[in-house]
C-alpha cells in the first residue's frame, strides 16, 4: 500500500513539474511577445500613432503617447531649442520612421488562396493552399493578414 502511495506521489510530483514548466514557458513567450511589441512601438512611435491605433490596446496607445512626449521633450532640450523655429518639428512626414514592409516573415495560410504574386513585376507566384507555410516579404502578405487569410508565425 505505501509503495502505491509513493508511486502515485512521484507521478503527481512529476506531472506538477511538467505543468509548471509549461506555465513558465507560456509566461516567457507572452513576456517576449509584449517586449517585442513595445520595442516596435518605440521604434515607430509616430507611424503607429498616425496609422495603427485600431491595432493597439488602450495601454499601448497611452504608452506610445507618453513615449512620444518624452522623446520630443528630450530632443527639444538637447537640440531643437537651439535650431531656428522652422527646423524644430519632429513630425514632418519625411522624418517619420516607417516599418520595413520588405522584411521577410514566416506565415501560414488559413484557407486556400491560390496564386499569390510575390514580386513587383508579377512574374513570380506561389500557390498558397490551406495550412501551407511560407517565408515571404510582409508587403506581399499584408492584405492577406488583414483579411484573416494568412497568419504570421
Q: What are phi and psi of 109, to 5 degrees?
A: -80, 140
pLDDT at 90 over 70: no
Q: pLDDT band at 60, cuts 50/70/90?
A: very high
Residues 2-23 have a mean pLDDT of 84
Residues 9 and 69 reside in one and the same domain = yes
Establish if 94 belongs to a structural domain: no
Domain span holding position 51: 2-82
Query: Looking at residues 10-27, what average pLDDT do you find?
Result: 93
pTM, to two decimals = 0.69
CATH code at position 118: 3.40.5.60
* Separation between Cα atoms, residue 5 and residue 3, nearest integer Å: 5
How many domains does one find in the chain? 2
Report pLDDT for 153.
85
| Residue written as grid cell 484557407 | 111
- 56 and 9 within one domain: yes
Please compute the mean of the pLDDT values over residues 85-112 and round it to a whole number: 78
Establish if 126 belongs to a structural domain: yes
Q: Is residue 90 one of the residues assigned to a domain?
A: no
Taking alpha carbons only, the member of 117, 111, 146 closest to residue 132 is 111
- The band of 24, judged by pLDDT with boundaries at 50, 70 and 90, is very high
Evaluate whether residue 37 is within a structural domain: yes
Residues 47, 98 contacting (CB under 8 angstroms) = yes
Task: State whether 118 and 63 are in the same domain.
Answer: no
Question: Is the residue at 132 inside a domain?
Answer: yes
Same domain, 75 and 13: yes
Q: Which of 1-5, 50-54, 58-62, 132-136 has the highest mean pLDDT?
A: 58-62
- Asked which of 60-69, 76-85, 112-121, 129-138 is least confident by mean pLDDT, the reply is 76-85
CATH number of the structural domain spanning residue 21: 1.20.58.1030
Amino acid at each position: 500500500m505505501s509503495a502505491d502511495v509513493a508511486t502515485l506521489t512521484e507521478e503527481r510530483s512529476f506531472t506538477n513539474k511538467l505543468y509548471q514548466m509549461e506555465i513558465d514557458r507560456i509566461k516567457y513567450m507572452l513576456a517576449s511577445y509584449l517586449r517585442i511589441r513595445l520595442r516596435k512601438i518605440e521604434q515607430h512611435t509616430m507611424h503607429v500613432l498616425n496609422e495603427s491605433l485600431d491595432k493597439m490596446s488602450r495601454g499601448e496607445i497611452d504608452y506610445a503617447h507618453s513615449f512620444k512626449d518624452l522623446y520630443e521633450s528630450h530632443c527639444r532640450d538637447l537640440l531643437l531649442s537651439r535650431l531656428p523655429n522652422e527646423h524644430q518639428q519632429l513630425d514632418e512626414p519625411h522624418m517619420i520612421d516607417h516599418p520595413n514592409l520588405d522584411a521577410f516573415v514566416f506565415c501560414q495560410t488559413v484557407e486556400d488562396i491560390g496564386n499569390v504574386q510575390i514580386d513587383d513585376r508579377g512574374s513570380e507566384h506561389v500557390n498558397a493552399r490551406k495550412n501551407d507555410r511560407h517565408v515571404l516579404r510582409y508587403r506581399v502578405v499584408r492584405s492577406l493578414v488583414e483579411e484573416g487569410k494568412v497568419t504570421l508565425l
